[in-house]
């Protein structure tokens, strides 16, 4: 009886357990979530005015050793207007574990693949460092988009996309703080390799001031 109790406690801490009709543990199942792989990659750049057809994705259920084709459960791609859009996928495996994944699609005609503003930026008012990482031509991920100090709740990825060398947008995206977008965006290049990015965050958790970030 003691051994059974120890096994049951271990299940609560580390695994999911199944029981038969008499309440006796019959199987110990380690959580295994489906793995979603997006065909064409998680970040796509597509020209303005084209007809976008999402390439889809696959889900691998390791418990059943089965691969399934997926189609998007939602998407907001608008090829008539430059911006960063999302295509969302959802998968459930044979044990009921679920996985969500998002593809980011930049609608833009900007084609300078050599251009790269990636780096560490400091917010001008408080010195907080944020990272900006290039993931495709003209498409970047900004961590801590508000430049908020000492609060991990504000550190999450937000995508910005360039429509030309001097114009970028932060189209509305879902974040841990709810819907978020940027307005009044601007970039100043130089002198040398220096770059300054500016934007106003549109979200109820932020004020209306312009946030300025500098990379030297």
Question: Quick one: which of 200, 210, 142 has its CA closest to 175?
Answer: 142
Residues comprising the chain, all counted: 216
Instruction: State pLDDT tens for residues 80-120.
Output: 999 999 999 999 999 899 999 999 999 999 999 999 999 99
**pTM summary value:** 0.84
pLDDT of residue 8: 31
8 Å CB contact between 200 and 170? no
pLDDT bin (cut points 50, 70, 90) of residue 31 is: confident
Alpha-carbon gap, residue 111 to 16, rounded angstroms: 49
Which stretches does DSSP call E strand in the chain? 16-19, 25-29, 35-38, 43-46, 57-61, 66-70, 74-75, 83-92, 98-107, 119-123, 129-136, 139-143, 157-164, 167-169, 173-175, 178-189, 195-202, 211-215
Instruction: State pLDDT tens for residues 47-77.
Output: 999 999 999 999 999 888 999 999 999 999 9
pLDDT of residue 22: 63
Instruction: State pLDDT tens for residues 185-201.
Output: 999 999 999 999 999 99
Please tell me whether residue 154 adopts helix, strand or coil conformation: helix
């Amino acid at each position: 009886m003691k051994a059974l109790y120890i096994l049951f406690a271990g299940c609560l801490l580390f695994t999911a357990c199944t029981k038969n009709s008499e309440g006796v543990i019959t199987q110990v199942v380690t959580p295994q979530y489906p793995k979603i792989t997006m065909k064409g990659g998680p970040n796509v750049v597509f020209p303005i005015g084209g007809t976008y057809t999402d390439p889809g994705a696959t889900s691998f259920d390791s418990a059943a050793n089965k691969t399934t084709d997926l189609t998007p459960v939602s998407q907001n791609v608008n090829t008539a207007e430059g911006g960063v859009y999302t295509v969302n996928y959802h998968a459930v495996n044979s044990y009921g574990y679920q996985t969500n994944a998002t593809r980011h699609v930049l609608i833009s005609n900007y084609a300078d693949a050599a251009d790269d503003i990636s780096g560490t930026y400091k917010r001008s008012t408080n010195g907080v460092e944020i990272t900006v990482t290039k993931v495709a031509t003209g498409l970047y991920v900004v961590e801590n988009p508000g430049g908020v100090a000492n609060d991990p709740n504000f550190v999450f990825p937000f995508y910005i996309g360039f429509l030309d060398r001097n114009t970028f947008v932060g189209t509305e995206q879902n974040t841990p703080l709810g819907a978020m977008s940027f307005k009044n965006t601007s970039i100043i290049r130089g002198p040398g390799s220096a770059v300054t990015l500016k934007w106003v965050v549109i979200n109820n958790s932020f004020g209306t001031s312009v946030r300025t970030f500098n990379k030297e």
